[in-house]
Amino acid sequence: MTIPASTEAATSTEAAASTETTASTETTASEETVVSEEAVQEAIARQEPRFVLIPESARPGEPVTVAFNDTFYGFGRRDLQAVLLDSRDRRLTKAVFFDIPGEPALKVAILAVPSTALIGDAAIRIETGAGIVSEIPFIIESREFLHETISLNQENTDLRTVQDAQKTAESEHLWAVISRTGREVYSDGIFTNPVESTRRTSPYGTRRTYHYIDGESDTTVHAGIDIGVPTGTQVRACAAGRVVLARERIVTGNTVILEHIPSVYSLYYHMDSIVVAEGDIVEEGALLGESGSTGLATGPHLHWEIRVSTENADPDIFLSRPVLDKKDILNKLTN
């Protein structure tokens, strides 16, 4: 059964589901607050929920914060989620709602517009297992990305093309890590650069063509930012967070991943060394290790990436504004 959708406009590489799986956040069905479809309908009948979007439109690669005050509706259910749909009604990405510390009634979900999203009219649909709660008009703005061609030697050609069981296992494990949605908020501010240098050797979203040693080629989209720095450059946490992965991997070399906000992760690839361990809680600016050229790299650099509900997002946006600005969210909900 479908709950009537809202007509009120808001004021405001690897695949798996983004469900809550961490042991620290697992709960049994008996512990969850279960809200029936009838209860949701009654809540909407009393007063339709008001959702705000920050920003109200976005370009591919940019994060979008969806928020509402649950004081009067009592959804309180784990399956409440925001889904981004394009003009063809295709589901592009989704994110579950979580609580902001100190504001138990304030529910927030953070999405990222895919870098390959169709430009134009779109919508953000709020839904539960019981049906659609609301659908908010949204616009995906145009954006141009650069193109680059990279010629690989035999070693790097093999890293991309040769089938390897360990490589597959590492890929599946990384995806499982960034697919989790925790409950802790470690950082709610603007992120900082992980290295002192700002020399970009490859920007976010670049359309890449790889030329292999045998003359074959294929294409991909660059999911992060490459920062050209010498081997041994200190790499620091872009924000406070929890270390959820710190190990050597075949393709990305020495790799560190931090969780900052539920479903928001920063990734650091090709490092020469790692000085943190999985499970560590680190502050903004904490030393993670040193840069290098391990894994699939054509020279010393740091690959810095942000993932939001598994979708890659433009790190530069996180350097310019917070995606979890409680003051701004509350202001938009009350005005």
Per-residue pLDDT tens for 71-86?
766 666 668 999 999 9
Please answer whether residues 84 and 130 qualify as being in contact, where contact means their C-beta atoms are separated by less than 8 angstroms.
no
**Helices (H), strands (E): how many in the chain?**
5, 22
Q: Apex CA 99: angle with CA 240 and CA 89, to 5°? A: 100
Residue range 73-102: mean pLDDT, rounded: 88
SS (H, E, C) 135-197: EEEEEECCCCCCEEEEECCHHHHHHHHCCCHHHHHHHHHHHHHHCCCCCCCCCCCCCCCCCCC
CATH for 23-143 is 2.60.40.1930
Query: Are both 23-143 and 159-202+224-320 of the same fold?
Result: no
Residue range 21-50: mean pLDDT, rounded: 50
Residue range 187-205: mean pLDDT, rounded: 94
Which pLDDT belongs to residue 24? 40
d(CA 82, CA 97): 7
The torsion region of residue 180 among left (phi > 0), alpha (psi -120 to 50) and beta comes to beta
Per-residue pLDDT tens for 285-305?
999 999 999 999 999 999 999
Q: Is 279 exposed, middle or buried (0-12, 13-18, 19+ CB in 10 A)?
A: exposed
| Range from 172-181, 185-194, 263-272, 325-334 carrying the lowest mean pLDDT | 325-334
Residue range 108-134: mean pLDDT, rounded: 94
| Location of structure tokens 């304030």 | 106
Which pLDDT belongs to residue 205? 95
* Per-domain residue ranges of the chain: 23-143, 159-202+224-320
d(CA 160, CA 158): 5
Is the model's pLDDT at 103 over the cut of 70?
yes
| Percent of the residues in the chain that have a pLDDT greater than 70, as a whole number | 84
| Percent of the residues in the chain that have a pLDDT greater than 90, as a whole number | 72
> What band does 125 get if pLDDT is binned at 50, 70 and 90?
very high
Residue range 34-48: mean pLDDT, rounded: 56
| pTM, full prediction | 0.84
> What band does 69 get if pLDDT is binned at 50, 70 and 90?
confident
Is the model's pLDDT at 198 over the cut of 70?
yes
> What band does 28 get if pLDDT is binned at 50, 70 and 90?
very low
Please answer whether residues 269 and 255 qualify as being in contact, where contact means their C-beta atoms are separated by less than 8 angstroms.
yes
What is the average pLDDT value for the chain, to the nearest integer? 87
Which pLDDT belongs to residue 73? 66
Residue range 90-114: mean pLDDT, rounded: 93
Residue range 203-222: mean pLDDT, rounded: 94
| The CATH fold of domain 159-202+224-320 | Glucose Permease (Domain IIA) (2.70.70)
Per-residue pLDDT tens for 155-193?
999 989 999 999 999 999 999 999 998 889 999 999 999
